[in-house]
């Protein structure tokens, strides 16, 4: 069955970096784009952008240009999200989602000094 | 950006009751809207895609309709396992945008 399994929760300090992974199984990884979505505590969902899993080309929503990087380890059917220079407002749960259908379980990233 | 206004933000309903949740978009998106159910600590689950199509494996208690820029998710007869958060997503154009969510609780 189709599954997206994300890495575990992260606790980071402001200014640090974090890398979140999303391992796909049950389908051909390169057939579907991978999207990333942010859900801050008590807030709604925000689309961060997507990565073409065939070409590796990322597309970022305006609010996520600069400190956010989508990448792939295609041989491992894994998509990654790296956030650098973490800020308090990056505290959120980050989801990967295969196109618009299957979602990962989410990764809670807490940024606190 | 396309705005998606979801209502109500919270809803109290009784078991067996018919429940309706609405998303209104700021511009026409054809049928490019999905509905999801999310329970605490779990991944969102796709219920309805392209406004009216029931995702494989989902109960037929869920249905979707649309007219113009107004989209509705209906639960025909509320069951205990339907207690969750629901949200819609427009994927007509980037940036994709979400409704604000509806928290469905038992009365």
Segment B44-69, tens digit of pLDDT? 999 999 999 999 999 999 999 999 99
Q: Given CA atoms A100, A87, A66, B25 in this order, what sign does their dihedral have?
A: positive
Residues 1-20 of B with CB under 8 A from A: none
Cβ atoms A111, A90 nearer than 8 A? yes
Question: For residue A18, what are the β-bridge partners?
Answer: A83
Q: How far is B76 from chain A (nearest CA, A)?
A: 23
**Predicted local confidence at residue A47, as pLDDT:** 96
Q: How confident is the model at residue B43 (pLDDT cuts 50, 70, 90)?
A: confident
Is B88 in CB contact (< 8 Å) with chain A? no
Which residue from A minimizes the CA distance to B88? A45
Mean pLDDT of the A83-109 span:
96
Contact between B98 and A103 using a beta-carbon 8 Å cutoff: no
Which residue from A minimizes the CA distance to B42? A105
Q: Which of B36, B37, B95, B101 to mutate to test the interface with A (most CBs of A within 10 A)?
A: B95
Contact between B100 and A44 using a beta-carbon 8 Å cutoff: yes
Contact between A100 and B49 using a beta-carbon 8 Å cutoff: yes
Kindly state the percentage of chain B with pLDDT values over 90: 96
**Predicted local confidence at residue B94, as pLDDT:** 92
**Predicted local confidence at residue B8, as pLDDT:** 97
Q: How confident is the model at residue B73 (pLDDT cuts 50, 70, 90)?
A: very high
Q: How confident is the model at residue A99 (pLDDT cuts 50, 70, 90)?
A: confident
Contact between A35 and B96 using a beta-carbon 8 Å cutoff: yes
Cβ atoms A49, A60 nearer than 8 A? yes
**Predicted local confidence at residue B42, as pLDDT:** 87
Contact between A47 and B44 using a beta-carbon 8 Å cutoff: no
DSSP A50-99: EE-TTT--EEE-GGGSSSEEEEEEGGGTEEEEEE-S--GGG-EEEEEEET
Q: How far is CA A93 from the centre of its chain?
A: 9
């Amino acid at each position: 069955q189709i599954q997206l399994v994300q890495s575990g929760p992260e606790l980071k300090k402001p200014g640090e970096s974090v890398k979140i992974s999303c391992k796909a199984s049950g389908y051909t990884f390169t057939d579907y784009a991978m999207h990333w979505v942010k859900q801050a505590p008590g807030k709604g969902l925000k689309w961060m952008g997507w990565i073409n899993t065939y070409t590796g080309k990322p597309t970022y929503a305006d609010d996520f240009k600069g400190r956010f990087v989508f990448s792939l380890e295609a041989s491992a059917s894994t998509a990654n999200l790296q956030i650098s220079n973490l800020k308090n407002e990056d505290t959120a749960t980050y989801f990967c989602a295969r196109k618009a259908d299957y979602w990962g379980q989410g990764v809670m990233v807490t940024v606190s000094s | 950006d396309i705005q998606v206004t979801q209502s109500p933000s919270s809803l109290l309903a009784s078991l067996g009751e018919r429940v309706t949740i609405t998303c209104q978009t700021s511009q026409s998106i054809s049928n490019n809207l999905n509905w999801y159910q999310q329970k605490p600590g779990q991944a969102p689950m796709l219920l309805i895609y392209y406004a009216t199509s029931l995702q494989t494996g989902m109960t037929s208690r869920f249905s979707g309709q649309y007219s113009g820029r107004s989209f509705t998710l209906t639960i025909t007869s509320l069951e205990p396992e339907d207690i969750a958060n629901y949200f819609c997503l427009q994927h007509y154009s980037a940036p994709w945008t979400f409704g604000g969510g509806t928290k469905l609780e038992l009365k």
